[in-house]
């Protein structure tokens, strides 16, 4: 399809000179709110402030678990005495 030389000039001129929708004087309602929300979402977090409380919470939970397990698994008074007697007997048997 062979084009006349003036084709592109007329095409661009037609689009350039066509009536355009008027430019708005300011941003539409709610636009700035959406922009700032998007900006906040993309902002890098202060990792110190984010991580520290969580790290403390996890550490506390671990310590509490360990203490609880220790308390549950620790020998009772009677068990302690039996263990001591067994040890003494073992020592007496020793040549």
Partner 1 sequence: MPPEPSQLIAAWHSARDETAARQLIDVLYPQVIRIVRNHLPFRLDEEDLAQEVFAQFFKTLDRYDPALPLENWVTRLAMNVCLKALRSRKRRPELRWSDLSEPEQHALESLMRETDESAVKDDDVKALLHHLLETMDVKDRLVLTLLHLEEKTLKEIQAITGWSSIVIRMRAYRARGKLRKLFDDLS
> Does 55 contact partner 1 by CB under 8 A?
no
Report d(CA 58, CA 51) in Å as an integer: 11
Report d(CA 72, CA 61) in Å as an integer: 16
> Does 45 contact partner 1 by CB under 8 A?
no
Task: State the minimum distance, in angstroms, from the CB of residue 44 to partner 1.
Answer: 10
Residue whose structure tokens are 């263990």: 83
Tokens of 78: 């009677």
> Does 49 contact partner 1 by CB under 8 A?
no
Site of interaction with partner 1 (CB under 8 A):
1-4, 6-8, 10-12, 14-16, 18-21, 23-28, 31-32, 34-36, 38-39, 42
């Amino acid at each position: 399809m062979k084009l006349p030389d003036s084709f592109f000039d007329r095409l661009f001129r037609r689009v350039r000179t066509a009536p355009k929708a008027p430019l708005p004087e300011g941003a539409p309602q709610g636009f700035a709110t959406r922009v700032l929300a998007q900006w906040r979402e993309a902002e890098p977090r202060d990792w110190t402030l984010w991580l520290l409380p969580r790290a403390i919470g996890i550490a506390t939970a671990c310590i509490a678990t360990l203490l609880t397990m220790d308390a549950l698994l620790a020998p009772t008074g009677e068990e302690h005495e039996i263990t001591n007697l067994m040890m003494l007997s073992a020592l007496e048997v020793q040549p």
